[in-house]
Structure 1
C-alpha cells in the first residue's frame, strides 16, 4: 500500500461545506491508487489533502474508526 493521505468529508446530505469543521470525518486515502482502501465506496464529497500523511496529527476533524482499524491491521 502506498503512503496514505487524509481525505476530509466535505459535504453533508444538505450540501453544506464542512471540511473545515472540527467534527468532519477524516478518511485514509491512497493517493497513488486514487481510492479509499478501507471502504467499498465513499458516497459523499471529500477534500483530499495530498500534503498531509495519515499518521500526522489532525488540526480539525475526527478520524474514521474503520480507517483507523484498517491502518492498525484490525480486521475491518
Structure 2
C-alpha cells in the first residue's frame, strides 16, 4: 500500500516518461501521459480509491495534461 508521503515517486516516474515521450523521433504522433492517484491515507474521501483517482486524473486532463494530479479533499 502506498501512502501520500510517497507521492514524489509517482510524480518522478510520470515526469520521466513524459520527458522520454517528448523526444521521440520515430515519426509517430507525439503523445503524453496523464495520471491521477489517490492514496489509502487520503482525508475525507468522497468515494472509493478508484473513483478518487479518476477525479484526480480528470483534474490533470483539464489543467494541462502531461503530468500527475493527486486526489485531495
Hey, which of these two has a bigger chunk of strand by percent? 1
- The structure number with the bigger radius of gyration is 2
Greater fraction helix? 2
| TM-score, structure 1 as length reference | 0.24
TM-score by length of 2: 0.25
